[in-house]
Amino acid sequence: MRKIVSGFFISLDGVVEAPHEWHFPWFSDQMGAAIVGATNASDAMLMGRNVYQEWAEYWPNAPEDDEFGQFINNVDKYVVSTTLTEAGWGNTTVIPGDDLVERITELKSRPGKDIYISGSPTLVRSLLGHGLVDELQLLIHPIIVGSGERLYEGLDQIPLKVVAAETFETGVLFVRYAPDDSKPGE
């Protein structure tokens, strides 16, 4: 079964909104390699409507030598939305939000590599709540942003375990978490 892997730039206080406003001073080759590793391990992208609309404006016109641009333009994309009915960006399928659990479960059951989500906190919160996220890849930045959308708002307790952790030379922590069904102390 395929895994759903979700990646975020996140501040110490859990903010994931508008990382372009605070994350770049900590960007490094190590961070770039972590992102490339996640995309290389996937053959599909899952996103919410907001990320889809932002990316669909920019990436189809990306320079031909942009590695991520080539990846995102050619990979199968699935956008979850309750309002979007059709997509104009190549290789994109709209998944209606009303049958999310069934459609995502079916998508995970297909053969293939990981399904990667970059951003889309509303979608990820919903998938976490339904137990459909197999791994969170958090690039935790050493900054308190103070305001903005937080990844964990409105979620009940979800036990996680650390799969891997690395400290980058810029002070960013790259931590990979997976669901933990064991009881504390086991």
pLDDT of residue 123: 95
CATH number of 4-179: 3.40.430.10
**Cα 169 to Cα 39: distance, rounded to the nearest angstrom:** 22
In the structure encoding, which two tokens stand for residue 137, read together? Answer: 């890849």
User: 171: helix, coil or strand?
Assistant: coil
pTM above 0.85, yes or no: yes
Strand partners, 167: 173
pLDDT of residue 66: 87
Strand partners, 6: 117, 136
pLDDT digits (tens, 9 = 90+) for 85-126: 888 899 999 998 788 899 999 999 999 999 999 999 999 999
The mean predicted confidence, pLDDT, of the chain is: 93
